[in-house]
Chain A
């Protein structure tokens, strides 16, 4: 499994793989949207505004998972000095950045009709905002520090620090009293979402995951090529 993400495999990745993934994405997302927006029932309390959940929950999950991977890659990078680890983390960052932004914006849109307010300073919302800031800083380090080795070390440190925020986000709703409701899907107990709403949620999640994979593969391939070209240039000088 991990071998598939080794540089040689990615470089030889053809457009055909990406195209077939894109076709799959269109099918899954179309089906997901139809199910989530039309076929699934409204909620017994929130009515139709519950449909925001089908975008909000998967994007939050992907934003968290992406940073988890960045954290793992950063640790591996600092300890074992594996060459392609920083490139892997670097290509994951924009995906997480966009999805954390989507999560915050859709959450805000959901908050107005249900809670009666766009934004509150409760633990879940603030820790999510901190994750978004971590993503921004992570991307900016790569943008503004021109020396590769320096940028590599800085961004890895940021990646590891930001990972410590992930359990805080996850458990903020259990540790403190928050306006944000607690998790409906947990490791330990049955989901508290009725299956007619859980199915579209899963489909939407799958669709967003495929989308993330496509963007990741494209970015990762570009990063690897750039890295190789730079290496050749440095040798010639």
Chain B
């Protein structure tokens, strides 16, 4: 169907694409630690060594009934429904920060159960709906 020249070009380009993809795959694989934006409490629990010097990010859900505000200090618990981490933060929280919703905290670990954050980001999920629908869903769940 194709001439010899075209065939050799297809072959060459195909090989080139495959090899570049493999290279990119290995680069991303080795950089995984940097590509991942935050760690879950379970991942921190499973870590063999923790340093209290390095700035890291912890993400998960804000545990329901765990937010405790005292002045500008906010204490809450990040959970991934398996393990939990207590977070202490001093400053303003984003509007979407609330119980049961996603959160990413940036700061330093004191130990595996206690985290001091100097930045709080709210993470929202991919579900979009009007407030009435959300209310109706909640009512049907209860």
Contact = CB atoms under 8 A, between A and B. Distances in A.
Interface in B15-63: 17, 20-21, 24, 28, 32, 35-40, 59
A183 B36 CA distance: 17
Contacts, number: 111
* Chain A residues touching B, majority SS: loop
B129 A43 contact: yes
A182 B126 contact: yes
Given A79-B9, A115-B123, A116-B94, A43 B130 contact: yes
A115 B121 contact: yes
A179 interface: yes
12 contacts: A41-B131, A41-B132, A46-B96, A46-B128, A79-B9, A79-B13, A114-B95, A115-B122, A116-B93, A181-B125, A196-B130, A197-B128
Interface of B: 6, 9-10, 13, 17, 20-21, 24, 28, 32, 35-40, 59, 93-97, 101, 104, 119-135
A161 interface: yes
* Chain B residues touching A, majority SS: mixed
B37 A120 contact: yes
Contact of A179 (B20, B123, B126): B123
A80 interface: yes
B96 A184 contact: no
Given A115-B94, A116-B94, A194-B128, A44 B35 contact: no
A123 B35 contact: yes
A194 B135 CA distance: 13
B6 A116 contact: no
B6 A80 contact: yes
Interface string A171-211: 00000111101111000000011101100000000000000
Contacts of B35: 123, 176
A164 B13 CA distance: 13
A42 interface: yes
